[in-house]
Chain A
């Protein structure tokens, strides 16, 4: 039974799961959820994810939601193939977990509202950004990125000198931020963060993810 990912190619969380599958060389089927028509809020989808979100991952007898949990599962189950996404030692793995949490608790809460206010909001509702929310989160993100700049000055990737799930977890939000927020200078003005992004975003897994569906 093939691996299935329920989601849409433009969804940030779906993209991070796809990138993980590409890194591990795992074949999968993307099953489109018609979110425009509200399919994700209907009983069929809620059975898979009671929070009504995408992606949902199905692999043999395992059904999972929350992309960071999905990606941990893929990285562990397919440990023996593709890129090692948790490092090689227990200490390396612990640092990967630490930086996955940094992404989830510091980076994402600052960048995701900016992507929403500056890009997605207009697309979904036609409304412009709430400038107060933008200002607050720009300040927050700047503080976080200062820490990343210092970290990436001493280490090629976040958890050490190896690409890991910690770096991968930053893909989808950062992609939208760089291309559509109008605030990409927050990244490009910090040389180590900029070159880290340049490096990881050019990996074939990410390129495959963002060109999914195009010929």
Chain B
């Protein structure tokens, strides 16, 4: 569905579709119905993200980067805020509809960034990604990280027993931010058990991961694979 004039250049997203942070941005673009061009960055073989051309745009040498005409922005959580704000009038209202909604979305985005992410990232790295990068995954570190994550999920269980989504009864950037790491932990790390045993967290996960936009992204990022 074309929502922008063919004369307006599409935004460029530098990254890879299976990357956690790139996925966050792709999901946001899909929800907001914003057309984009994905520019693949070879982070495995030629390590393009460490080359000077890339570092000029992203000095930390990490994907993704979003380019909107002559404007460039990095850090996936900043990018999705930018997209959601710029395209407020179309697609899913990912910031809710009131200033109070928006405050709650920012709060739960920070919960993800400062509480959830530090607990889940080491587990996914050690269980799933380390071997892909030729490194050894440490199960002890993974388990310690999962223990931390379970404490966070206990809080989520309480919150999600009061509201359908994190920031309220609407799907938002806050829920969206959790999709990629959860997907990896459950489907590749095989630790869906920690979600299964928390009924409200489980229902929330089932709801957000069955969104057509997420399914569409998975079919592109992991072609041919099926995820229940």
Contact = CB atoms under 8 A, between A and B. Distances in A.
B86 A90 contact: yes
Given A91-B71, A105-B75, A147-B60, A72 B158 contact: no
Interface string B75-103: 10110011001100000000000011011
Interface residues of B, number: 29
Interface string B157-179: 01100000000000000000000
Nearest to A102: B75
A69 B103 contact: yes
A94 B73 contact: yes
A61 B158 CA distance: 21
Q: For chain A, what secondary structure do more than half of its interface residues adopt (helix, strand, loop), or is it mixed?
A: helix
A100 B78 contact: yes
Given A64-B103, A69-B103, A73-B103, A98 B78 contact: yes
Which of A50, A69, A109: most chain B Cβ within 10 A? A69
Contacts of A66: 106-107, 110-111, 114
A64 B113 contact: no
A95 B73 contact: yes
A147 B99 contact: no
Interface string A76-112: 1100000000000011011101101110111001000
Contacts, number: 74
B8 interface: no
Contacts of B85: 90, 93
Contacts of A97: 73, 75, 77-78, 81-82
B106 A69 contact: yes
Contacts of A95: 73
B7 interface: no
Interface string A34-70: 0000000000000000110000000001101110110
B108 to A, nearest CB: 8
Q: For chain B, what secondary structure do more than half of its interface residues adopt (helix, strand, loop), or is it mixed?
A: helix
Given A69-B109, A101-B77, A147 B103 contact: no
Given A69-B109, A76-B99, A97-B78, 13 more contacts: A51-B111, A62-B103, A66-B111, A68-B113, A69-B106, A69-B110, A72-B103, A76-B102, A94-B81, A94-B82, A100-B78, A101-B78, A104-B114
Interface of B: 59-60, 71, 73-75, 77-78, 81-82, 85-86, 99-100, 102-104, 106-107, 109-111, 113-115, 118, 155, 158-159
24 contacts: A50-B155, A51-B111, A64-B104, A64-B107, A65-B107, A66-B107, A66-B110, A66-B111, A68-B106, A68-B113, A69-B103, A69-B106, A72-B106, A77-B99, A94-B73, A94-B81, A95-B73, A98-B75, A100-B78, A101-B77, A104-B110, A105-B113, A147-B60, A151-B59
